Structure 1
Amino acid sequence: MKPSPFGYHAPGTVGEALDALAAAPGGKVLAGGQSLIPLLNMRLAAPSDLVDINRIGELDTLHVGDEGVRVGALARHARVERSAEAAAVQPLLGRA
């Protein structure tokens, strides 16, 4: 099956993504798509717009500091798993 028609936005900043979502109240965020794409194809989800956040570099972060480990929305699991700095603070992250 094919998904219902929708608008597509690929913002470059978090601000642009928030603006796109504010302009499309029926919109959905697309990151990896492993949950959303099958729902679209089966027409179990029919958002008015998709806001693809994959081009927002500021979401691809892995920060280790005094407060712990902060993983950005676009940080890949493999990167977190292989991070020696993160493992030093939270050893179970590499095993999750």
Structure 2
Amino acid sequence: MAKESDAYPELDVFMEGWFHQDWGASGETVEDVALDYKRVVRPMRVIQVCAEMDQFIAQNDAAVDSAFEQRWGWFRPAGLGYTIPEFFQELKRILRS
């Protein structure tokens, strides 16, 4: 049986590996951290993580805040002035640039 974490494998890697509790160690801003991820991974993984962000938003719709909290609760985009959809939009903008 597939684990819930199997639904977004690359997004889990991105959030857990770059936006962990000490995410500031990878850069001072969200942009710095996203660009660090982009420098390290293959381009196909960037495409995958962007698609998984879209999928996460679509599948969780009105419950996106609680779904994000349940999955990656240590990171709080609201503390940076983002809603969850805005945070993912910003990440995709950076990653696709």
The TM-score with structure 2 as length reference comes to 0.28
**Whose strand proportion is higher, 1 or 2?**
1
The TM-score with structure 1 as length reference comes to 0.28
Report which structure shows greater RCO (CA 8 Å, sep ≥6). 2
Max Rg structure: 1
